[in-house]
A and B are shown apart, each in its own frame.
Chain A
Amino acid sequence: MNGKPIVILLAEDDDAHAEIVVRNFEDSLVANQMFRVTDGEEALDYLYQRSAYSDPASSPRPGIILLDLRMPKIDGLEVLKAIKTDPDLKTIPVVVLTTSKGELDIAEAYEHHANSYLVKPVDFTKFTQLLENFGYYWLVWNEYPHGLPK
């Protein structure tokens, strides 16, 4: 563990769902810094530090990515594929967070090396629990390659 807050990149097109995640992490005791993008293209722009995200100070490299699957422009699976085939980005853990429980989506996500696959529950307690567990697992217990990202 490290004193620095972990940078989370949240790729989510739905404002309400993003708000749920953000509120949970605000209440969380684990130090974190969250950045949100609203579609697949923005997600890739952020990761490749292009256009609006070219300044590493305001768009730091994420330690972990929370990725929705169905997004405008570039689909979540495409984003995942791009990350996992990039020698520099592939070490960043990608956790899929989606409403889809579709077998094909799950299979394809793992096919493209998703590190975990979580389904948004239609139940407040479960959703909160899921986000809390996510926080503990990935932000407290999990060790990251070469310490924390630059």
Chain B
Amino acid sequence: MDPDEIPLTRAIRYGETCSREFIIQRAVGDERIIQANAAPIRDALGKVSAAIVVFIDITESKQMEEDLRKKNAEIERFTYTVSHDLKSPLVTIKTFLVYLEKDLKAQKVERAAKDLSFIHGAVDKMALLLDELLELARVGYHTTLPEEMRLQDVVQDAQSLVSGQIDARGVEVVVTQEPVWLYGDRPRLMEVFQNLLDNAVKFLGDQPAPHVEIGAEQVGDELELFVRDNGKGIDQRYHTKVFGLFEKLDASAKGSGLGLALVKRIVELHGGKIWVQSEGPGQGTTFRFTLAKTRLRQRAPALT
């Protein structure tokens, strides 16, 4: 390194107050970002006689800065997507209102009815979008205190909310009997299973014996939770896209495309990650995710 790049040298040679950042490789193997701040010390005549240098490990604050930058970019993207998705039904409403006027004047009753149905559709779309947006915004705030809960109990609550669809399609839902304990915001974790179940049931395709399995698997030192179905499957190309805001793989499917984005958000807020596995169309889909503090336990938790 050029000596002039070293703060201590600059302080002594040029009498400057100087700050630089360095990346150092530690013996234990990890990298740290160090900030070196140097200042000259002058004698009674004002001549530089010494310098003082302070090293600060700023790795964590750098990381936080980076996280903040990512969050900001995410918010920007989010605002952009939302405004776009709200504008689209607005175009429909404005245009078909004029068509409606014209068709009523011309006494074209059938076309007027069609115009109205497009307007209704757009209004419903906007309402759904707003509901889900509010839901997504609420997820950021912890409204309930985190608690420990049995996987089976949460899944049961979720299942009862989608029982209509499950029964209508004759889906067999199997939940592991293992003593899996989750920790977190119970209503939110319930939503994760609700959305994943709803998603599984929605995309069963023409599977004659639909089946959804919920369980946990120890992989390395992490306990992975999974929701596996034998439905339509998801093409490899869309495995990341499914979690995007307003992304829908099937334009005709109900919903605004926020369900899985919501699931991802909740999982991440619980210190976990989520991904999808599918061998492709017709091969079924498995959503796998982790949550911090999930564990297998043989006995009920001891009170502390």
Contacts and interface: CB of A to CB of B under 8 A. Distances in A.
A16 B90 contact: no
B96 interface: yes
A17 B88 contact: yes
A15 B115 CA distance: 12
Interface string A120-139: 11111101000000000000
B248 to A, nearest CB: 5
The A contact surface, by secondary structure, is loop
Interface residues of B, number: 26
Contacts of B252: 38
Contacts of B114: 19
B251 A39 contact: yes
A38 B252 CA distance: 9
A127 B87 CA distance: 14
- Interface size class on chain A is 20 to 34
A74 B88 CA distance: 19
Contacts of A125: 98
A73 interface: yes
B250 interface: yes
B88 A99 contact: yes
Interface of B: 80, 84, 87-88, 90-92, 94-99, 114, 118, 121-122, 237-238, 246-252
19 contacts: A15-B118, A16-B122, A17-B88, A17-B91, A20-B91, A70-B246, A72-B247, A72-B250, A74-B237, A99-B88, A102-B84, A120-B91, A121-B91, A122-B87, A122-B90, A122-B91, A124-B95, A124-B98, A124-B99
**Would you list the 5 A-B pairs with minimal beta carbon distance, nearest first?**
A124-B98, A16-B92, A13-B251, A16-B118, A99-B87
